[in-house]
Amino acid sequence: MIRVEELRAGYRAGFRRAWREVLQGVSFHVPRGAIAGYLGVNGAGKTTTIKVLVGVNAPTGGRASIAGHPVGTPAAQRALGYAQEAPFFYEGLTARELLGFYARLSGVPRPERAPRAEALLEEVQLSDAGDRPVRGFSKGMRQRLALAQALVHDPELLVLDEPLDGLDSMGRLHLRELIARQRDRGRTVFFSSHVLSDVEAVCDHLVVLDGAKVAYEGPTAGFMAQGDLTIEVRLAGALTADATAALAAAAGDPPATSGEVHVVRCATQAQADAVVDAARAAGLQVVALTPARHSLEERFLEAFGRPRQAAGGAA
């Protein structure tokens, strides 16, 4: 659905309008029907890429296409729906009027506009607020309205820039459910986000930027599988000083203890086996061995370090 090849792009910034190239030969593809997360630290070029895909910025090199059509062409524009991070709406219009307006701009035939607006208001749970001016909408309501606007012409692809930013837990949950439903309807979704727990919850495909280049592209599970495997050994019983020392020597770290329950984290199967042997020798009960990989956020920080503001502040 999305194909990007050796893409170069940037923007002018500062008083002197100096050129800053953000993307330096980025290549990736997003298959049809996927929900793809676009990740990277601040300044990696996520928003710049999205602006190229939706036709706002022109690339300075390379190629990008949507559904086989070069970005910026009418065919590519018809294939995508876009919701930006901070959506702008005409504040005096109601949600119902806005969707009708955007349907008209998108070329939706007149007889289909009102029914489609009603269906989308129902979809994003704004039916009760459909006749209220948008100026009174909360951020969560605006984000849902932005998604409805992006869907108004029934596109094949949704491109969303930080759709979950600044929402509370319930707002994020509702938007995650809306995004997941688009895959069930055969659409492709491509979105950037700093909330990696949300990306992990809904995305089956990842594109990860690092240093203006793609560091990973492929299934979400494949990226997370690159992280270290941790095995938690849960023990029960009274823990003596000698047993604590033996467990620490086997695992490399002392156990985490709460009362007579002790958890030892092991980086390898050999360490876990040594911990079990030491526990049995100390008369402790082995309650459970639980293999666990890092979350997407932990894996991302492990691979790229803690998020930092890149020079120039590009998104």
Residue 97: the pLDDT is 96
What is the residue-averaged pLDDT of the chain? 89
Q: What are the φ/ψ torsions at residue 151 (nearest 5 degrees)?
A: -95, -5
- Separation CA 100–CA 25 (nearest Å): 40
Domain ranges of the chain: 2-225, 229-293
Please give the pLDDT value at position 303.
79
- What is the reported pLDDT for 208? 94
Residue-level pLDDT at 166: 74
**Span 161-190, average pLDDT:** 88
pLDDT at position 311 over 50? no
* Residues 6+ away with beta carbon under 8 Å from 208: 39, 40, 214, 215, 216, 217, 223, 300, 303, 304
Question: Measured between alpha carbons, how far is 204 from 88 in angstroms, rounded to an integer?
Answer: 30
Residue 130 has pLDDT above 90, yes or no: yes
Q: Indicate if the pLDDT at residue 301 is higher than 80.
A: yes
Predicted confidence band of residue 164 (pLDDT cuts 50, 70, 90): confident
pLDDT tens profile 254-290:
999 988 899 998 888 899 999 999 999 999 999 999 8
pLDDT digits (tens, 9 = 90+) for 66-116: 999 999 999 999 999 999 888 889 999 999 999 999 999 999 999 999 999
d(C-alpha 15, C-alpha 18), whole Å = 8
Class for the domain spanning 2-225: alpha beta
What DSSP line would sit under the chain, residue for residue?
Answer: -EEEEEEEEEEEETTTTEEEEEEEEEEEEE-TT-EEEEE--TTSSHHHHHHHHTTSS--SEEEEEETTEETTSHHHHHHEEEE-SS----TTSBHHHHHHHHHHHTT--HHHHHHHHHHHHHHTT-GGGTTSBGGG--HHHHHHHHHHHHHTT--SEEEEESTTTT--HHHHHHHHHHHHHHHHTT-EEEEE-S-HHHHHHH-SEEEEEETTEEEEEEEHHHHHHTSPEEEEEEEES---HHHHHHHHHHHSSPPEEETTEEEEEESSHHHHHHHHHHHHHTT-EEEEEEEEEPPHHHHHHHHH-S--PPTT---
Q: Which CATH architecture has domain 229-293?
A: 2-Layer Sandwich (3.30)
Q: Is the pLDDT confidence value at 299 over 60? A: yes
Q: Rounded CA gap, 4 and 113, in Å? A: 33
Q: Work out the pLDDT band at 228, boundaries 50, 70, 90.
A: low
In terms of residues, how long is the chain? 315
Say what the pLDDT of residue 229 is: 67
Structure tokens at 99: 């969707």
